A and B are shown apart, each in its own frame.
Chain A
Amino acid sequence: MAHTSAAQSEPSGSAPVIEVRMVTVAFGGLLALRGVDLDIMPGERLAVIGPNGAGKSTLFNVIAGDIAPTAGKVAVKGQDCTYRPSRHRPRLGVARTYQKARTFDGLTVRDNIYLALAGHARRHRALWRSSVDARMRSTAANVAETVWLAGQLDHPAGQLAHGQKRQLELGMAIATGPDVMLLDEPASGLSRGERERLIEVLESLAPEVTLLLIEHDMDVAFRIAQRVVVMADGETVTAGSPAQVQKDTNVHRIYLGTEATA
């Protein structure tokens, strides 16, 4: 498709932190992604938007390592990660959240964040507590404060409200100090106040942190992102600054469904 190249970012000096090359994903006879190309530069804030079924989540899962693509290549920081399982991503400084909060409901908020730290530090095989261990536990408290969960530190995650679970998800991603954060619809199901908090946390991240978010909520996507990629039918349709994308007639057509009649 002619528009595919539009997703490529403008040439710049540094190498992309995430490279997606001609990625195709087929579920049986359904092509969820059709040769998608995408470069994400270090420190970039990129939002991928598009209607339901556009392939946003599939693209996200390919980048996160949960789905291996049928064809194509994914590289993180220059390393080919196409067929590497998701557990190798944290070592490359990649953290992710899930659309539906996946917290460890039998464990406390502190232990949830602690596990995020332990997995990243690769100290999870250590059987005994150590000074590193103690430091991770205190870092967990600091992270909980960042995501407004300081008061719930010793509550089981299973008892948190939906919005709080999303905050915990975000905390678990932030905890390890990742270079790249993949956020899968971080604003879905949040109240207006919670959404403001989310934006506040995301805006407070260090400028060198790369953000990729998939978002249904245009408000959040346009406020956080510097660049917006629009997907439809498994392809990237257009890309540009939030202002450009908002004016793009193609995008209006995709979202309002006038393409068929045009």
Chain B
Amino acid sequence: MTVRGQLTRRNLVLAAVVVVLLALPSLATAFFVNFVMTQTLILGLAAATIVFLAKYAGMTSLAQFLLFGVAGFMFGNAALEAGARGLNLGWDAWAAVGFAIVVTTVVAFVLGAIASRTTGIYFLMLTLVYAVIGYFVFAQIVEISGPGGITSIQRPELLGPPVRLYYAGLLLSVLAYLGFRSLGRTAFGLALQGVRDDPIRMASLGFNVALHRTLAFTLAGFVVGLGGLLNVWWNGQIDPASISIGPTLILLIIAVIGGISSFEGAWLGAFVYVLVFTYLRDLPLIDRIGITEARFNTVIGVIVLAIMVLSPEGLTGIIHRLRGRLERPAAAAADTSTGGPLPLRKTEKEFGGTRP
């Protein structure tokens, strides 16, 4: 695509958002940057892998949070020195990073290969099983999860100050976003979409459908592993409870809030989730109507319910619709002069994830 072709309004808005995010540490409070936004970027990165699998390959995965945790645990085991919990391998931080990413990617490859012959609800169920098994593996094999989790995990010196972790999250998010988006136009990305639309047809065209699904799952595992590393550096600790079914579902909920077929939606959903999680208790009088911290999940549940009913395309879908509504009156006014029969201008219709 030409440079001019890239200059769509959407891309300009996204570029502006990135510029604002780059300048954010000098605009907002340290708490907002290092707590709210860093967490948003980490969860957004993880949720983007769910979107990637769902949008391109038609696979809704519940195993992403497990892989997120695998990367965190592996880093903790490899990087901590004797005396700490876990395996205490005491490696150099970057060697531990490499180890964590390699293990996560290999685990993703194996899990993906096993799941590659299932689709739809069966794939969803199988990845849910992965999440449950993964949780018990870490909960019961305390040698690799330290009794009660691995604590006092230090991040590499390069990422020492919290704001650097924010920038690392931003960099990886931008790379993942651009990477996933451009992947859709590559031979591999198109083949994945073909697998999503009609796997039998793809096989008869000569494609190895199972291999494509496996590779997609592996790639998603690699990216979510990077997110898992950021997460363990941000938290400073990881325990089996943090990859149980609850957090697993939350990641899917984030993807649904944002819109499961849009990459922007992953970060948008994460932002809304973190905002609600962080600021809900601060709203004036909120506890008077019975919404206390304990009811946090109820609020998220209501938000998800509202989005499912009002806009299955999530917040991104709502934004698209609002934009359409703002543009339509202007377009209609411009049309009156032509007076042709049935003026049809810029008519858009969405069918599920397809936007002609």
* Contacting residues, chain B, for A87 (C-beta < 8 A): 203-209
In the bound assembly, the distance between CA atoms of A107 and B198 in angstroms comes to: 11
Instruction: State whether the Cβ of A159 lies closer than 8 Å to any Cβ in chain B.
Output: yes
B 171-187 to A, binary, CB cutoff 8 A, 1 in contact else 0? 00000000000010111
* B182-205 at interface with A (beta carbon < 8 Å): 183, 185-188, 190-191, 193-194, 196-198, 200-205
Size of the B side of the interface (Cβ < 8 Å), in residues, is 28
In the bound assembly, the distance between CA atoms of A85 and B186 in angstroms comes to: 26
Most B CB contacts (10 A, CB to CB) among A89, A103, A119, A124 go to: A124
Stretch at the interface among A108-116, A244-252, A254-262: A108-116
B 329-356 to A, binary, CB cutoff 8 A, 1 in contact else 0? 0000000000000000000000101101
In the bound assembly, the distance between CA atoms of A96 and B205 in angstroms comes to: 8
* A77-129 at interface with B (beta carbon < 8 Å): 85-91, 96, 98, 102-107, 111, 114-116, 118-120, 122-129
Do the beta carbons of A91 and B206 come within 8 Å of each other?
yes
In the bound assembly, the distance between CA atoms of A120 and B206 in angstroms comes to: 6
- In the complex, the chain B residue whose C-beta lies closest to that of A123 is B187
Count, A-B residue pairs, CB within 8 A: 96
Do the beta carbons of B353 and A106 come within 8 Å of each other?
yes
* Contacting residues, chain A, for B206 (C-beta < 8 A): 87-91, 119-120, 122, 124
Q: A114-B190, A123-B187 are in contact. Are A104 and B197 (CB under 8 A)?
A: yes
Q: A107-B190, A123-B187, A126-B188 are in contact. Are A115 and B356 (CB under 8 A)?
A: no
* Contacting residues, chain A, for B204 (C-beta < 8 A): 64-66, 86-87, 89-90, 96
Do the beta carbons of B197 and A124 come within 8 Å of each other?
no
Do the beta carbons of A118 and B203 come within 8 Å of each other?
no
* Contacting residues, chain A, for B200 (C-beta < 8 A): 66, 86, 102
In the bound assembly, the distance between CA atoms of A115 and B212 in angstroms comes to: 13
* Contacting residues, chain B, for A90 (C-beta < 8 A): 204-206
Residue of A96, A107, A122, A129 near B197 (CB, 8 A) is A107
- In the complex, the chain A residue whose C-beta lies closest to that of B209 is A87
Instruction: State whether the Cβ of A155 lies closer than 8 Å to any Cβ in chain B.
Output: yes
In the bound assembly, the distance between CA atoms of A245 and B205 in angstroms comes to: 33
Do the beta carbons of A158 and B354 come within 8 Å of each other?
yes
Do the beta carbons of B196 and A106 come within 8 Å of each other?
yes
In the bound assembly, the distance between CA atoms of A87 and B204 in angstroms comes to: 5
* Contacting residues, chain A, for B196 (C-beta < 8 A): 106
* Contacting residues, chain A, for B207 (C-beta < 8 A): 87, 115, 119, 124
* Contacting residues, chain B, for A129 (C-beta < 8 A): 185-187
* Contacting residues, chain A, for B351 (C-beta < 8 A): 158
Most B CB contacts (10 A, CB to CB) among A88, A114, A127 go to: A127
- In the complex, the chain A residue whose C-beta lies closest to that of B354 is A106
- In the complex, the chain A residue whose C-beta lies closest to that of B195 is A104
Size of the A side of the interface (Cβ < 8 Å), in residues, is 39
B 115-135 to A, binary, CB cutoff 8 A, 1 in contact else 0? 000000000000000000000
Do the beta carbons of A115 and B188 come within 8 Å of each other?
no
A176 to chain B, nearest CB (A): 8
Instruction: State whether the Cβ of A172 lies closer than 8 Å to any Cβ in chain B.
Output: yes
* Contacting residues, chain B, for A116 (C-beta < 8 A): 205
Instruction: State whether the Cβ of A72 lies closer than 8 Å to any Cβ in chain B.
Output: no
B6 to chain A, nearest CB (A): 15
Residue of B187, B188, B198, B356 near A159 (CB, 8 A) is B356
- In the complex, the chain A residue whose C-beta lies closest to that of B58 is A106
In the bound assembly, the distance between CA atoms of A114 and B207 in angstroms comes to: 13
In the bound assembly, the distance between CA atoms of A44 and B7 in angstroms comes to: 53
* Contacting residues, chain A, for B193 (C-beta < 8 A): 104, 106-107, 111
Instruction: State whether the Cβ of A156 lies closer than 8 Å to any Cβ in chain B.
Output: yes
Do the beta carbons of B203 and A85 come within 8 Å of each other?
yes
- In the complex, the chain A residue whose C-beta lies closest to that of B211 is A125
Do the beta carbons of A127 and B205 come within 8 Å of each other?
no
In the bound assembly, the distance between CA atoms of A143 and B209 in angstroms comes to: 25
Do the beta carbons of A111 and B190 come within 8 Å of each other?
yes
Instruction: State whether the Cβ of A133 lies closer than 8 Å to any Cβ in chain B.
Output: yes
Do the beta carbons of A155 and B190 come within 8 Å of each other?
no
Do the beta carbons of B202 and A127 come within 8 Å of each other?
no
In the bound assembly, the distance between CA atoms of A33 and B212 in angstroms comes to: 34
Contact sample, A vs B, 29 pairs, CB 8 Å cutoff: A66-B200, A66-B204, A86-B200, A86-B204, A88-B206, A89-B204, A90-B204, A90-B206, A102-B200, A103-B197, A105-B197, A105-B354, A106-B197, A106-B354, A107-B193, A111-B190, A111-B193, A115-B191, A115-B194, A115-B205, A124-B188, A124-B191, A127-B186, A127-B187, A128-B186, A129-B185, A129-B187, A158-B354, A159-B356
**Contact surface of A with B, Cβ cutoff 8 Å:** 64-66, 85-91, 96, 98, 102-107, 111, 114-116, 118-120, 122-129, 133, 155-156, 158-159, 172
Known: A85-B203, A104-B198, A127-B186. 11 other contacts (CB 8 A): A87-B206, A87-B208, A89-B204, A104-B194, A104-B197, A106-B193, A106-B196, A106-B354, A119-B206, A120-B205, A125-B188
Nearest 10 pairs of A and B residues by beta carbon:
A90-B206, A119-B205, A119-B206, A104-B197, A102-B201, A87-B203, A124-B191, A86-B204, A119-B207, A126-B187
